[in-house]
Amino acid sequence: MFSNNPLPAEGLLRISQICGDRKRGIPPIVPVSRSTWWAGVANGRFPKPVKLGDKLTFWRSSDIRALVAKLSGVSE
């Protein structure tokens, strides 16, 4: 279900890195649409973002790694 796209051990990820971007050839880490991702953030299923400005939204790599482990049934 999830991509073999390697996650950095530390750092921040953009939504295009998480959901993928076909135009730029970025495979998804979590294969859901952006609207599904934002709905999941709003209802608490997916991690909350880190806002670094009005138009700069990121997610912690550690939060995404934990999400992938939880969704795939693998304990970290």
Sheet holding 56-60, edge to edge: 12-13, 56-60, 50-53
* pLDDT, tens only, 33-70: 999 999 999 999 999 999 999 999 999 999 999 999 99
Burial 34-58 (b: 16+ CB within 10 A, else e): eeebbeebeeeebbebeeeeeeeeb
Average pLDDT, the chain: 89
Report which residue type is found at 68: V
Q: How far apart are CA 67 and CA 21, in angstroms?
A: 20
Give 21's DSSP letter: B
Which stretch of 5-19, 20-34, 52-66 has the lowest confidence by average pLDDT? Answer: 5-19
What pLDDT is stored for residue 55 in this prediction?
92
What pTM was computed for the model? 0.83
